[in-house]
Amino acid sequence: MKSEEFIKFSDPLKLFSLWFDEAKEKDTYNYNACCLATADVRGVPSARMVLVKSFDERGFIFFTNTNSRKAEEFERNNKVALCFYWKPLKRQVRIEGTIMDLPFKESDKYFKTRPRKSQIGAWASKQSNFMEGGYTTLLKKYKLYEEKFLGIDIPRPDFWCGKVILPEKIEFWIEKDNRLHERLLFTAQNEKWAKEYLYP
């Protein structure tokens, strides 16, 4: 993306949408993967990858287990950050904001679209908890749920939900020669976006 084109954007969600589409085209495997950072109440950070399934005027949506470590952290400290990196595009996007619940109806709707085996997997996993007996325990639990739900529609587990991250800062980064990378930072201010350039 040329500098002149990059800097003319005043709406970061439009720019994100453009980059996300390009990533989908050129970085086909998990183009929607990003690193989600949370921090516990003492401010100790932790990070892991998640898949952003969609985004809209509210923010960035992903799904997870609400008994997981990340959920335990963001339930008490709702400030989180996301970082996307698309190697073929040589671009990074950093997002900081507040995490909220996605309405349950939307989680139900999305859960229905998941492959049956992934739905069973969601039931079988006590995400982030210690697993007695090792990996075979998980396979056994998977089998149990497979039998339990045989021939019926699988409901969304209460502990598996969508979350939406309401962005407060969105920064776009483009790799350029000689480490003269371009950075454009958008900050939410009074329902508008303020735009600033940053040194690389």
Ligand X SMILES: Cc1cc2nc3c(=O)[nH]c(=O)nc-3n(C[C@H](O)[C@H](O)[C@H](O)COP(=O)(O)O)c2cc1C
Torsional sign, CA 21, 27, 30, 34: negative
Per CB under 6 A, 33 contacts ligand X:
yes
Integer Cα distance of 138 and 131 in angstroms? 8
Residues 6+ apart with CB under 8 A from 197: 7, 182, 183, 184, 185
The residue type found at 37 is A
* Binds ligand X by CB under 6 A, chosen from 1, 66, 69, 142: 69
Does 77 bind ligand X (CB under 6 A)? Our answer is: no
Q: Which is nearer to ligand X, 108 or 196 (CB)?
A: 108
State which residue, 65 or 107, has the beta carbon closest to ligand X: 65
Range 104-143, binding ligand X (CB under 6 A) = 127-128
Q: Render 163-194 in DSSP notation, one character per residue.
A: EEEEEEEEEEEE--GGG--EEEEEEEETTEEE
Looking only at residues 41 through 60 of this chain, which bind ligand X when binding is defined by CB under 6 A?
46, 48-51
- Contacting residues for 140 by C-beta, under 8 A, at least 6 apart: none
Closest separation in Å from C-beta 51 to ligand X: 4
Is 179 part of the annotated catalytic residue set?
A: yes
If one asks whether residue 76 binds ligand X (CB under 6 A), the answer comes out as: no
Contact positions toward ligand X, by CB under 6 A?
30, 33, 46, 48-51, 62-65, 68-70, 127-128
Positions marked active-site:
179
